[in-house]
């Protein structure tokens, strides 16, 4: 990103970072039991080896360190990954309505999870990892099939990719529907809640996987903004500008598959984040994908973290599935964006 571009976007990045920091603090402090700010400061001082300004409440310390802090970090990383994946997909398809689910990775992951829940598959060595691994593998297989169907003369056709993605989504949806039909009440309940999404499974143990397979590719995407900008001009024009178009397309698809596959495997289905956040970033930062990717990372993390905070507090002590919250927020907001775009004659 050029220095002038950095300077122009820097105040917006600072504002987004401050907003993320405020929501992060709220996510740690509030829930079914509110924790005073003084306890958070005391726990932070104790963790840093400093003398706490007040006595450390052991109950508050346990809630912060073992429950809310890993959950907040989990939501930040997943939200950033989903949003960056959405920004890359919209750049690849040259369409602001594109969604990471177009590749079939989400529906494939749902089918993999449904197979485990309904058919009772289990990996003997690591039974706790059976569900996320099956969901991840299902998403990868669906994406590979879409890629194979989109190849024409050794090159990936974006139009064929879109059609193949629609077909694979339909097939995986039918398979999941069949498994729902034959499931019993307990299995149906488990599958339903999984498809609604949740970051309740967050822990320090699975954060390294999220960092490596969800947030890692999002960081790798940062230097791709310039090439995606060239791709928006058309594949022939991007090639003339020195972009290896085929390699770029395969790299985007591979990264989106890994990010979304990991996210869906660990959190279930979370809708609208990858669709709304990049679109909103384009309204705030402009069409430059170098800015959009960075903005999507910050704003996506804030949105999912805020949605998780709402899901934990609005029906406390119970928890509302986070996918419902993101849909309630994202659906009307995106409809308003579409309406404004139509008024301006964009669509």
Q: Would you tell me the crossing angle of helices 158-182 and 69-93 to the nearest 10 degrees?
A: 140
Alpha-carbon gap, residue 298 to 97, rounded angstroms: 20
CA-CA distances (angstroms) from residue 344 to 339, 341, 347? 9, 5, 8
pLDDT tens for each residue of 191-249 = 888 888 899 888 999 999 999 999 999 999 999 999 999 998 888 899 888 999 999 99
Q: Is the pLDDT of residue 1 over 60?
A: no
For the segment 162-191, the average pLDDT, to the nearest whole number, is 92
3-343 domain in CATH 3.60.21.10? no
284-296 per-residue burial string, b: 16 or more CB within 10 A, e: under 16: ebeebbbbbbbbb
How does pLDDT run across 280-305, given as a tens digit for each residue?
898 899 889 999 999 999 999 999 99
pLDDT average, residue stretch 115-126 = 83
Give yes or no for a contact between 87 and 287, defined as CB atoms under 8 angstroms apart: no
The predicted pLDDT at position 345 comes to 59
The per-residue pLDDT for range 28-64, each reduced to its tens digit, is 999 888 898 888 888 888 888 787 777 778 888 999 9
What does the DSSP assignment read for 176-195? Answer: HHHHHHH--HHHHHHHHHHH
Helices (H), the chain: 3-29, 37-47, 58-62, 69-93, 105-119, 130-150, 158-182, 185-196, 207-210, 216-220, 225-231, 235-240, 245-267, 273-285, 289-313, 322-343
| pLDDT of 4 | 47
Mean pLDDT of the chain: 88
Q: Which residues contact 97 (CB under 8 A, 6 or more apart)?
A: 90, 275
* CA nearest neighbour of 178 among 109, 103, 114: 114
pLDDT of res. 347: 53
| 303 vs 98, higher pLDDT | 303
């Amino acid at each position: 990103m050029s220095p002038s571009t950095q300077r122009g976007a820097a105040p917006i990045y600072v504002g987004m970072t401050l907003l993320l920091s405020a929501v992060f603090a709220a996510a740690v402090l509030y829930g079914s039991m509110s924790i005073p700010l003084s306890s958070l400061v005391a726990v932070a001082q104790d963790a840093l080896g400093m003398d706490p300004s007040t006595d450390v409440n052991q109950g508050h310390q346990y809630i912060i360190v073992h429950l809310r802090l890993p959950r907040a970090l989990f939501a930040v990383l997943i939200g950033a990954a989903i949003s960056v994946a959405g920004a890359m997909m919209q750049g690849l398809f040259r369409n602001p309505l594109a969604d990471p689910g177009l590749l079939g990775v989400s529906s494939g992951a749902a089918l993999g999870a449904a197979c485990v829940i309904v058919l009772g598959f289990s990996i003997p060595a690591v039974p706790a990892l059976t569900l996320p691994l099956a969901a991840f593998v299902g998403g990868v297989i669906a994406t590979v099939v879409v890629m194979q169907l989109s190849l024409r003369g050794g090159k990936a056709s974006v139009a064929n990719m879109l059609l193949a993605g629609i077909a694979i989504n339909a097939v995986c949806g039918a398979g999941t529907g069949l498994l729902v039909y034959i499931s019993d009440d307990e299995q149906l309940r488990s599958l339903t809640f999984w498809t609604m999404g949740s970051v309740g499974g967050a822990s320090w143990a699975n954060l390294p996987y999220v960092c490596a397979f969800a947030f890692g590719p999002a960081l790798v995407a940062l230097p791709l903004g310039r090439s995606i900008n060239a791709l928006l001009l058309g594949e022939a024009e991007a090639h003339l500008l020195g972009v290896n178009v085929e390699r770029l397309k395969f790299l985007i698809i591979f990264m989106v598959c890994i990010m979304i596959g990991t996210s869906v495997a660990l959190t279930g289905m979370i809708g609208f984040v990858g669709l709304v956040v990049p679109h909103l970033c384009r309204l705030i930062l402009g069409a430059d994908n170098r800015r959009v990717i960075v903005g999507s990372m910050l704003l996506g993390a804030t949105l999912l973290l805020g949605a998780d905070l709402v899901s934990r507090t609005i029906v406390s002590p119970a928890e509302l599935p986070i996918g419902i919250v993101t849909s309630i927020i994202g659906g009307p907001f995106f409809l308003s964006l579409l309406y404004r775009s139509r008024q301006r004659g964009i669509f």
